[in-house]
Copies of this chain bind each other. A is one copy, B any other.
Amino acid sequence: MFSATKIREDFPILRRTVHDRPLVYLDNAATTQKPRQVIESLVRYYETNNANIHRGIHTLSVEATEQYEAVRGKVALLIGAPSNDSIVFTRNTTESINLVARSWGDANLSEGDEIVLSLMEHHSNIVPWQLLARRTGARLRYIEVTADGHLDLDMARQLIGPRTKLVSLVHMSNVLGTINPIGEIAGMAHAAGARFLVDAAQSAPHLPIDVTGLGADFLAFSAHKMLGPTGVGVLWAADGLLSEMEPFLGGGEMISLVRQDESTWADLPHKFEAGTPNIADVIGFGAALDYLAGLGMPAVREHERNITAYALDRLGALPGLNIHGPSDVDQRGGAVSFSLEGIHPHDISTILDSRGIAIRAGHHCAQLLMRALDVPATSRASFYIYNTEDEVDALVEAVEAVQRVFNGVSHRTAV
């Protein structure tokens, strides 16, 4: 049985205090905390197996290589990938997307071609395409966001057409929580002959995912947002795509034969992993994937659905508090952004911090969305497997305190 209280025991950091209050960590969309199983796997690696991989004959190197390569299988299992060779380890979602922009984009886009994004994209799914557009002369088009925080599907239908070479879309918004209709967009993209990249940075950690079912051509996500160490990202690509693509980074480990003027490439996926990889953290990511597999992604989703529903209920009841994004918990995940009238998110975040509550305040790397919502910034609480309703209560109480401070409804009215 899924029990957040039980799960909390696995997370050493949840025992610390902040400003003398127990830490209430609600910044999971930025990065999640790590269970001791992950931390221990890093320690075990460095204390018993550490070596460079792939070309070594000695025992440590063989052990490290086996452990590193085994994680590909765990990733494949998580996302339903038919083969391990289509899974490339990068640093983060951002690098995965840049890899596609450089290796696939430079070869496949030219003047007049269009890339369709949306206004709810994270900067990591905007800037690589701006740079690509500048290199190739391609053009960016943006699907707008409706007042209730959904993609404007009519507009998507209009924008995605014969000029479209790529559609790149966030699966779950890191600001609004919106879960986008990926299957439907995949249909539009493929009908137009375009490729489809899914930014799964916020979905892979929180939802069961099946790449073949989704209809994605590329899928990108980050280990650090799903219990894993920092420094590991994943790029998955549909059959055949990676083998057609040029290498992204050149160097050790990604070659087969090197001659003075040209080289041939190693088999997939190694062709895309130049230099010494982040071996320890990939292995640590394996421990994170084991942990999630132990819980089961449907149970993870169910827990977050419940806690998000509770948070929407309680926060929604506060006067002067405006929640951005869908209210239906079946159409959203646990990133809950809100604004308090007349109070800047940074002030909210500081006051919450003084009570040990960690939320994020700012543009959340989504300046286009901030402009579309017409706010300079928002406050965001985001949940994961170890968060409890008690913590939501603490959040709500703290927000009420913020309102008292700023609106002078407390003892401070007497100015």
Q: Which residues of A come within 8 Å of B, CB atoms?
A: 12-13, 16, 18-19, 23, 25, 27, 30-31, 33-34, 38-39, 42-43, 46-52, 55-61, 91-95, 97-98, 101-102, 122-131, 133-134, 140, 142, 222, 224, 229-233, 246-247, 249-255, 257-263, 274-281, 346, 349-350, 352-353, 357-362, 365, 367-368
Contact B39 A51 (CB under 8 A): no
Whole-angstrom CA separation of A142 from B27 in the bound complex:
51
Nearest CB in chain B: distance from A345 CB, A: 9
| Given A140-B260, A231-B91, A360-B56 contact (CB < 8 Å) | yes
| Given A58-B359, A250-B130, A278-B281 contact (CB < 8 Å) | yes
Task: Determine which of B47, B126, B258, B281 lies in contact with A127 in the assembled complex, contact meaning CB atoms within 8 Å.
Answer: B258
| Given A27-B58, A123-B255, A258-B368, A231-B353 contact (CB < 8 Å) | no
- CB neighbours of A57 from chain B (8 A): 346, 349-350, 353, 360-362
- CB neighbours of A253 from chain B (8 A): 365
Contact B258 A126 (CB under 8 A): yes
Q: How many copies of this chain sit in the oligomeric assembly?
A: 2
Top 10 A-B pairs, shortest CB-CB distance: A94-B275, A127-B250, A231-B278, A124-B251, A94-B251, A30-B52, A58-B358, A252-B365, A231-B231, A57-B349
- CB neighbours of A254 from chain B (8 A): 127
Whole-angstrom CA separation of A52 from B101 in the bound complex:
25
Contact A230 B277 (CB under 8 A): yes
- CB neighbours of A93 from chain B (8 A): 275
Contact A91 B275 (CB under 8 A): yes
| Given A48-B16, A123-B255, A61-B27 contact (CB < 8 Å) | yes
Nearest CB in chain B: distance from A379 CB, A: 10
Whole-angstrom CA separation of A133 from B185 in the bound complex:
38
Contact A46 B59 (CB under 8 A): no
